[in-house]
Each structure stands twice: as structure tokens, then as C-alpha cells.
Amino acid sequence: MNFKAKLSERIGMDDIHEILRLTQQSDKRKQELYDLVIGEDEKIGYHAAWIFTHFSPEANKWLYEKHDELIDEVMVCEHGGKRRVILNLLYKQPLADPPRVDFLDFCLERMLSVKELPGVQSLCMKIVYELCRTIPELTQELKTTLEMMEGELCPAIRSVRKNILKAIPKGKSLQKY
């Protein structure tokens, strides 16, 4: 199967299952799919990243070594849907300790941006919390920032904000690998 040709058009769950089957036992095919995620074509990259979100938790571990590349890609990505899906992939991975400062800054900026998609804002809030959770000074700054985020928040943002504010005193992770 030519992944690029398949992903250049609209795909459905049958296509996703077929690609999952083809990549399941082949690191070469996973790499071929991954190369499309970070490639030039945002639409194909979005579809390829979406397929990775359907990988099992065990198969998703293959992406762990691509962590920094995914961060680099999400920080320059112009496609809101692709940005959301890559953030979702990153959220499913163990996050670096200490955090990459440029990625932390990116997520802080995007979680506060009213121009950003709610899905991206929500994932950025969750990632910022996970990155700050073990550093008391950063956790306190995050708490202050979240407390200032009142007003006209969409339900998704309001819910994530509430859950993080509840989790901060406990220091518990929100992640479920």
C-alpha cells in the first residue's frame, strides 16, 4: 500500500485498521508512516498522525524515541488538527524531566491563546501540568495562571482547568498511559 496516496484522500476506520495491520509488525512501515507525519504536506501529516493515535499503548512505545522530533514538529505546525493530534501523541508519552523549556513555553502560550482550537488548548494545559507537577515553583505559577483564566471559557477548557486545579494539591498525574 502506498501510504502517501491513501492518506491524501479522505480516510475512514476501515483504512485506519488496514494501515494498523500493515504497520503492526514492521518498524520499516511505521517509519514510513511517521515520515509522513513530519513531512511537508500538512493534510497527509494530519492523517498519518491520526493513525498513530489508534496504536495500542504497547505499539505507541515505538514513538517514544521520536519524542523530540514530535515536539519540534508541533511547534512549527500550521495545521490546527495536526497540532492537536501530535499533542495527543505527546501526552500519551512519558514527558521529559526536566522539561524542554521551549516546549513548556509553547504549551503555556497555546493554552492561553483564544485563537487556538479548544482541543489544543486543553492538551496544552494538561501537558503544562504534567511538565510542572514535580517542580513546586512552576506548579504554583501554573495554579496562579489557571486561577486567572476565568470568564468566557468553553466547557472543555473549563473542565480541564477545574481538574488540574483539583489535582495540583495532590500532585497526582492526570496521564493514563
Flag the least confident range among 6-10, 57-61, 116-120: 57-61
Q: How many residues does the chain have?
A: 177
The single-letter code of the amino acid at 37 is V
Task: List the end-to-end C-alpha distance of the chain, in Å, as a whole number.
Answer: 30
Mean local confidence (pLDDT), 157-173: 92
The number of helices, as runs of H, and strands, as runs of E, in the chain is 11, 0
Report yes or no: 70 and 87 within 8 Å, Cβ to Cβ: no
Query: Of all residues in the chain, what percent carry a pLDDT higher than 90?
Result: 83
Mean local confidence (pLDDT), 150-162: 89
Residue 60 DSSP class: H
Distance CA 60, CA 81 (A): 20
For cell 470568564, the residue is 151
Confidence of residue 99 (pLDDT cuts 50, 70, 90): confident
pLDDT at 176: 59
pLDDT at 95: 84
Segment 144-147 long-range contacts (CB within 8 Å, at least 24 positions apart)? 145/108, 145/112
Confidence of residue 177 (pLDDT cuts 50, 70, 90): very low
Most confident segment among 22-26, 32-36, 94-98:
32-36
